């Protein structure tokens, strides 16, 4: 294989691995911060135990999110030097701002949170985890503005043999980036919500610490349901943005071959890229795709055939990833709604079937998030910056095949090993349940009848 293919493979592998940890970090930091805030405001120690228990799982996960993030920054220069050189004037800025504005915040205050239980006041300690949560979420904002620019380049001119920034405001208000941020952020919240609900369900099925896990479940269900609604709303706006700016991606997502008005959505559909048509089209909802694309029933959708073959993304993976993501999203929204209702009624711990479903649903938002990235990144091909620079032209010239083979093997080994350890530790501490020993946190004088 050549450097380009290997580098693409490596980027896909390292990015997807990174994005196993990031979404949970985004949501669980907010949930943990909320729990600790409730403790500070009410003095109820269950909330403290909740913040500690879920916070510990957050930390195990956080470590891998941070270290795999370093790879992401380095990789642009290492494997994609031509890309970095060509767009660095505009793409480097959000990355540098992310480090300065967001990454410092989360990395410095995570230290205060872990080690500061006895060194700062209760309120300051809660503020520390909020700053971690804000830093993490801000991090996502800058990264997704950078990614949004690759999807919809704005605020630049081609000059001196590269893309130069002329309008910073356009870059930070890029609708594609903003909507992608909201969509990604809220899907991360869903990951965290289903993570907490899934683990709570496991304990409730065993009748462990019912009060603790019912409360955790209820909080996560509400959080997850609100997030799910936002995922859907932002997803809808996102589709409009894609239809406007990346017609090839949109056509691949819906497998539309011929340009036509008032395109309907087939619930059953099998694309046939070889013959540039769909092999099966059944159960059509009239005008639905046009509605999705432009919020108008008779809007015209450009078909893939209108674009030269070499400018089309791979249809099958884009189409199926999109379908599956939407399907999973629908299911999870309903599951979260059921969670909201059932956790507010009595006897959540006796609803065995529901709890089993929620335990099994734990990985679903992870899968949906990965599928979303496949749609976003594979659907953008063959462009690395849509309409501006081809992926093939972005790869490093000085790098050799053996180097990338070596790094790919290295990444695969290290990441698999760390992934396995991480899952082992998460499972170990999730199973263990909350710690009742608050001696490290509450000084003896302030312990009330624990």
Partner 1 sequence: MELQITWFVLWGVLWAVYFMLDGFVLGTGILHNVIAKTDGEKRVLINAVGPVWDGNEVWLLTAGGATFAAFPTTYALMFSYLYTALLLLLFSLIVRGVAFEFRGKVESATWKKTWDVAIQVSSFLPALLFGVAFGNIFAGLPMDANGYHGSLIGLLNPYGLLTGVLFVLLFTVHGALYLSVKSVGELSARAKGVADKVWPVLLVVAVAFLAYTKFATKLYDNYLAQPVLFIVPLLAVAGLVGTRLFSAKGATLAAFAASCVTVLMVAATGVAGLFPNLIPSSLDPAYSLTIFNSSSSPYTLKIMTAVALIFVPIVIAYKIWVYRIFRAPVTEAEVLNDTHAY
Instruction: Give, as ranges, the residues between 408 and 437 that touch partner 1 (CB under 8 A).
Output: 410, 414, 418, 421, 425, 428-429, 435, 437
158 three-class SS: strand
Whether 106 and 69 have beta carbons less than 8 Å apart is answered as no
Residue among 300 and 422 whose Cβ is closer to partner 1:
422
173 binds partner 1 (CB under 8 A): no
Whether 263 and 243 have beta carbons less than 8 Å apart is answered as no
Window 375-414: residues binding partner 1 (CB under 8 A):
396-399, 403, 406-407, 410, 414
Q: Which stretch binds partner 1 (CB under 8 A): 72-80, 270-278, 325-333, 351-359?
A: 72-80
Residue among 110 and 251 whose Cβ is closer to partner 1:
110
The two counts, helices (H) then strands (E), for the chain are 14, 8
Give least dist CB 96 to partner 1, A: 4
Give least dist CB 128 to partner 1, A: 9
Residues sharing a CB contact under 8 Å with residue 42, sequence separation 6 or more, in sequence order: none
Strands (E), 87-155: none
Q: Which of 28, 30, 57, 78 binds partner 1 (CB under 8 A)?
A: 78
Give least dist CB 229 to partner 1, A: 34
**Which string of x and - marks every residue 346-375 that binds partner 1 (by CB under 8 A)?**
------------------------------
Burial of 416: CB neighbours in 10 Å, binned 0-12, 13-18, 19+: exposed
Residue among 12 and 367 whose Cβ is closer to partner 1:
12
Length of the chain as a residue count: 450
Residue among 22 and 182 whose Cβ is closer to partner 1:
22
Q: Is residue 397 reached through a cis peptide bond, with omega within 30 degrees of 0 on the bond before it?
A: no
Give least dist CB 447 to partner 1, A: 15
165 binds partner 1 (CB under 8 A): yes
Whether 425 and 60 have beta carbons less than 8 Å apart is answered as yes
**Residue that is written with structure tokens 């089309």 in the block:** 312
Give least dist CB 404 to partner 1, A: 8
Residue among 341 and 420 whose Cβ is closer to partner 1:
420
**Residue that is written with structure tokens 């941020």 in the block:** 181
Whether 126 and 142 have beta carbons less than 8 Å apart is answered as no
Q: Which stretch binds partner 1 (CB under 8 A): 159-167, 256-264, 361-369, 374-382?
A: 159-167
44 binds partner 1 (CB under 8 A): no
Residue among 18 and 183 whose Cβ is closer to partner 1:
18
Classify 272 in phi/psi space as left (phi over 0), alpha (psi -120 to 50) or beta.
Answer: beta
332 three-class SS: helix
Handedness of CA 45, 46, 51, 52 (dihedral sign): positive
Q: Which of 363, 439, 443, 447 binds partner 1 (CB under 8 A)?
A: 439
110 binds partner 1 (CB under 8 A): yes
**What is the four-CA torsion angle of 180, 186, 191, 192, rounded to 10 degrees?**
140
Q: Which of 111, 286, 363, 387 binds partner 1 (CB under 8 A)?
A: 111
67 binds partner 1 (CB under 8 A): yes
């Amino acid at each position: 294989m050549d450097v380009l293919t290997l580098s693409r493979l490596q980027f896909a592998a390292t990015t997807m691995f990174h994005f196993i940890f990031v979404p949970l970090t985004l949501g669980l930091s907010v949930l943990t911060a909320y729990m600790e805030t409730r403790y500070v405001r009410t003095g109820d120690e269950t909330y403290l135990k909740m913040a500690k228990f879920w916070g510990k799982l957050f930390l195990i996960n956080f470590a891998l999110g941070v270290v795999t993030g370093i790879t992401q920054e380095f990789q642009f220069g290492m494997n994609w030097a031509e890309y970095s050189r060509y767009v660095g004037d505009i793409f480097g800025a959000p990355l540098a701002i992310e480090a300065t504005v967001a990454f410092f915040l989360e990395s410095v205050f995570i230290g205060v949170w872990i080690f500061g239980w006895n060194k700062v006041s209760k309120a300051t300690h809660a503020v520390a985890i909020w700053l971690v949560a804000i830093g993490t979420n801000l991090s996502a904002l800058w990264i997704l503005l950078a990614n949004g620019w690759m999807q919809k380049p704005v605020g630049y001119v081609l000059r001196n043999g590269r893309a130069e920034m002329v309008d910073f405001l356009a870059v930070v208000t890029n609708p594609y980036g903003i909507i992608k941020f909201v969509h990604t952020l809220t899907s991360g919240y869903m990951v965290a919500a289903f993570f907490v609900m899934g683990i709570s369900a496991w304990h409730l099925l065993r009748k462990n610490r019912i009060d603790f896990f019912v409360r955790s479940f209820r909080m996560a269900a509400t959080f997850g349901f609100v997030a799910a609604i936002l995922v859907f709303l932002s997803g809808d706006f996102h589709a409009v943005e894609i239809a406007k700016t990346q017609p090839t991606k949109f056509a691949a997502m819906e497998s539309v071959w011929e340009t036509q008005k008032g395109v309907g959505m087939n619930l059953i559909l099998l694309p046939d890229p070889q013959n540039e048509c769909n092999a099966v089209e059944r159960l059509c909802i009239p005008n639905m795709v046009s509605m999705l694309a432009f919020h108008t029933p008779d809007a015209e959708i450009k078909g893939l055939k209108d674009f030269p073959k070499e400018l089309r993304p791979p249809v099958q993976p884009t189409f199926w990833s999109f379908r599956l993501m939407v399907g999973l999203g629908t299911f999870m929204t309903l599951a979260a709604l059921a969670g909201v209702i059932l956790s507010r009624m009595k006897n959540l711990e006796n609803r065995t079937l529901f709890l089993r479903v929620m335990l099994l649903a734990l990985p679903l938002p992870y899968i949906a998030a990965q599928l979303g990235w496949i749609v976003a990144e594979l659907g953008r091909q063959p462009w690395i910056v849509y309409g501006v620079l081809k992926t093939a032209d972005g790869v490093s010239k000085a790098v050799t095949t053996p180097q990338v083979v070596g790094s790919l093997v290295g990444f695969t080994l290290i990441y698999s090993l760390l992934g396995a350890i991480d899952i082992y530790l998460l499972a170990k501490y999730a199973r263990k349940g909350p710690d009742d020993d608050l001696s490290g946190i509450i000084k003896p004088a302030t312990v009330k009848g624990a």
